[in-house]
Amino acid sequence: MAPAEQAAIAAARAYVDALVTHDPAPVPLHPDCIRHELGVKTGRSGAHIAASLARGPQFRLIHAVSDFTARVDGDRVHTRYLVHVRPTLLRLAAPVSETFQVDDAGAITAITARFGPPRRV
């Protein structure tokens, strides 16, 4: 795998890790990054997305991520993973598919997320 592909996957993985840690500092978000979730714009800038990762109540339910896979297609990283949500006793996880567009500098410029309903795992 080429270094640029490895860097693009690392950028996507940093975002996915921040869903759990709520620390957006390691995530290379471009200032003009936008995010869409199920067709709805949920992030209007890199700063807005970082603030959501850090303090957004929608991400506070997430306590773990598993089964992460990624593949690179040009300037896009396609990921799939399971998001495990609270309360942990219910053992619920939702399948997530996210595509990250990454520029030549390694910054995420766009995120498109799709997910299914949580199910017992």
Report how far residue 44's alpha carbon sits from residue 32's, in angstroms, rounded to the nearest whole number.
7
Q: Note the CATH number of domain 3-120.
A: 3.10.450.50
For the cut 90, the answer to whether the pLDDT of residue 89 exceeds it is no
β-bridge pairing 62-73 and 40-43: unpaired
pLDDT grade for 88, boundaries at 50, 70 and 90: confident
Q: What is the pLDDT of residue 101?
A: 98
Report how far residue 20's alpha carbon sits from residue 85's, in angstroms, rounded to the nearest whole number.
10
Mean pLDDT of 91-114: 97
pTM: 0.95
